[in-house]
Amino acid sequence: MQTYLVGGAVRDELLGLDVKDRDWVVVGATPKEMLDRGFKQVGADFPVFLHPETREEYALARTERKHGHGYHGFSVYSAPDVTLEEDLIRRDLTINAMARDEQGELVDPFHGQRDLVNRKLRHVSEAFTEDPLRILRTARFAARFQPMGFEVCEETMALMRAMVADGEVDHLVPERVWQEIQRALHEREPGTFFEVLRDCKALDVLAPELVPESPFSAALAALRCIHRQQGSTEERLAALMSPLPEDACNARTKALKAPNDCQNLARLTVVFIPAMKSLASNQLTGESLLALLDAADLWRRPERFSALIRVLPCSLPETDRTAVTLLERAASAASGVSPKTLMEHGFKGKALGEAIHAERLKRINRALSQTPS
Ligand code: ATP
Ligand code: MG
């Protein structure tokens, strides 16, 4: 049997990047031989094993054939006679389809190294069309490597367009889509992910409300801004969704099955954007600020409020950003109120609620009067 290092590790090493995890392919072995050598089998469907010491993944060389749509349509064939080349041809991009043998020689039947030098993301073969997830992966690698000059080559873009037109993207399950989006949001140029998806029309299926130029460019600008601040996943998704109307935002984050914290921050952000705009243009009162703090439930969700305060400036025009500063100042003034102290002073029930409100308002008004205008 022969063992090869494959995929991302080979690619990243050639690019001079840190190699995070290493994947291996084993040619000429049976599952029994692997188990006899102390490997542990993981996953019932695929012949993939964990090394007894390094815990790295060793997969038996395999081929895949597709019968229907989506994930259930794959049948996997693995046997000692499957060659390395047969295994590599089912991979997504040429730069991900290189291997290194035990002597350290590069095995590169699909010219991944050439594409690496020319900065091209290119599909390995027509088998690319068998898995629509590859569209998302390609967009994600574009987002990761765009700063190094990579782009999706025209032939691959054409293939992806054809897949979208054939309805392939309709079969992706939300969990897989969200997983890719979540990763893409943290790549080096997250906006590129959405640009690629828009170019191949996958975005018309995955988030059609973002497609028109005006929300699209606003979404990408907000995303770029929160990315510069190293925002969390929640903050990044909220920035991306921030140009949308509330209903569309809620429906989309739900359909994507984004985690609840992501859905909630996105919802709060789109509710607060018009509120910030009217704060900026109307006579500002302590009452209106306190109402917003109540709406954000600052009292029980201080961390979510901080996240909101980080996203809003990214999602608002320059002129409306002062309202966020005021909101933040009101929040820090009002959070000093201690319900416990008021209780010790004998307040309870409805009177306690009113006393808390009054004290918060007093402190906000005091802070506002000290605000240089
Ligand atoms: P990363 O740095 O994100 O780990 P990677 O290239 O190692 O990038 P993995 O998701 O770890 O990506 O997958 C390992 C390898 O398996 C890839 O390099 C690619 O060759 C192959 N691969 C993974 N998912 C797919 C897929 N859906 N279709 C085709 N090939 C895939
Ligand atoms: Mg990997």
Ligand 1: residue whose CA is nearest its atom 22: 91
Give domain status of residue 73, yes or no.
yes
Give domain status of residue 163, yes or no.
no
Ligand 1: residue whose CA is nearest its atom 14: 7
pLDDT tens, residue by residue, 262-274:
999 999 999 999 9
DSSP 68: S
* Average pLDDT score over the chain: 94
Give domain status of residue 176, yes or no.
no
| Weakest mean pLDDT among 36-40, 261-265, 346-350, 368-372 | 368-372
**pLDDT band per the 50, 70, 90 thresholds, residue 71:** low
Residue 35 Cα to ligand 1 midpoint, Å, equals 24
Closest ligand to residue 6's CA:
1
> 28 in the Ramachandran plot: left (φ > 0), alpha (ψ -120 to 50) or beta?
left
Residue 133 Cβ < 6 Å to ligand 1: yes
Q: What is the mean pLDDT of residues 178-206?
A: 98
**pLDDT band per the 50, 70, 90 thresholds, residue 70:** low
Cα→Cα distances 41→23, 56, 62, 86, Å: 15, 12, 15, 22
Ligand 1: residue whose CA is nearest its atom 18: 7
Across the chain, how many H-helices and E-strands are there? 18, 11
User: With 0-12 CB in 10 A as exposed, 13-18 as middle and 19+ as buried, what is 225?
Assistant: middle
Q: Which pLDDT score is estimated for 43?
A: 75
Tokens 């209780």 sit at which residue? 343
User: How many CB atoms are closer than 10 A to CB 245?
Assistant: 12
Residue 7 Cα to ligand 1 midpoint, Å, equals 6
User: Is 37 annotated as a binding-site member?
Assistant: no
User: Is 161 annotated as a binding-site member?
Assistant: no
Residue 208 Cα to ligand 1 midpoint, Å, equals 27
Residue 155, pLDDT > 90, answer yes
Q: Are strands 106-107 and 99-100 parallel, antiparallel or unpaired?
A: antiparallel
Residue 72, pLDDT > 80, answer no
316-323: list long-range contacts, CB under 8 Å, 24+ apart.
316/273, 316/276, 316/277, 319/280, 320/276, 320/277, 320/280, 322/280, 323/276, 323/277, 323/279, 323/280, 323/284
Q: Which pLDDT score is estimated for 74?
A: 75
Give domain status of residue 125, yes or no.
no
Give domain status of residue 262, yes or no.
no
Q: Are strands 40-42 and 48-50 parallel, antiparallel or unpaired?
A: antiparallel
User: How many angstroms separate the CA atoms of 7 and 25, rounded?
Assistant: 9
Give domain status of residue 174, yes or no.
no
Residue 165, pLDDT > 80, answer yes
Q: What percent of the chain is modeled with pLDDT above 90?
A: 87
Q: What is the mean pLDDT of residues 313-341?
A: 92
Q: What percent of the chain is modeled with pLDDT above 70?
A: 98
Residue 131 Cβ < 6 Å to ligand 1: yes
Residue 73, pLDDT > 80, answer no
pLDDT tens, residue by residue, 350-371:
999 999 999 999 999 999 888 6
Residue 223 Cβ < 6 Å to ligand 1: no
**pLDDT band per the 50, 70, 90 thresholds, residue 373:** low
Q: Which pLDDT score is estimated for 277?
A: 87
Residue 66, pLDDT > 80, answer no
Give me the number of domains the chain comprises: 2
Single out the residue in 115, 136, 153 at which a domain terminates: 115
DSSP 202: T
Q: What is the mean pLDDT of residues 185-203?
A: 98
Q: Where are the beta strands (DSSP E) in 145-255?
A: 151-152
Q: Which residues surround ligand 2, an ion (CB under 5 A)?
A: 8
Q: Which pLDDT score is estimated for 283?
A: 73
Mutation to probe ligand 1, out of 20, 23, 144 (largest number of atoms < 8 A from CB): 23
**pLDDT band per the 50, 70, 90 thresholds, residue 75:** confident
Residue of 336, 307, 316 lying closest to 274 (CA atoms): 316
Give the range of the structural domain holding residue 317, as residue numbers without chain letter. 276-368
| Weakest mean pLDDT among 45-49, 109-113, 331-335 | 45-49
Single out the residue in 67, 100, 115 at which a domain terminates: 115
User: Is 23 annotated as a binding-site member?
Assistant: yes
Q: What is the mean pLDDT of residues 301-308?
A: 97
Residue 23 Cβ < 6 Å to ligand 1: yes
DSSP 300: T
Cα dihedral 2→6→9→14 (10° resolution): 100
Residue 132 Cβ < 6 Å to ligand 1: no
User: Is 21 annotated as a binding-site member?
Assistant: yes
Single out the residue in 85, 115, 145 at which a domain terminates: 115
Ligand 1: residue whose CA is nearest its atom 3: 8
Q: Which pLDDT score is estimated for 371?
A: 63
Query: Which CATH number do you get for residue 97?
Result: 3.30.460.10
Give domain status of residue 223, yes or no.
no
Give domain status of residue 173, yes or no.
no
User: Is 140 annotated as a binding-site member?
Assistant: yes
Q: What is the mean pLDDT of residues 99-104?
A: 97
Higher-confidence residue of 27 and 64: namely 27
- pTM recorded for the entire structure: 0.94
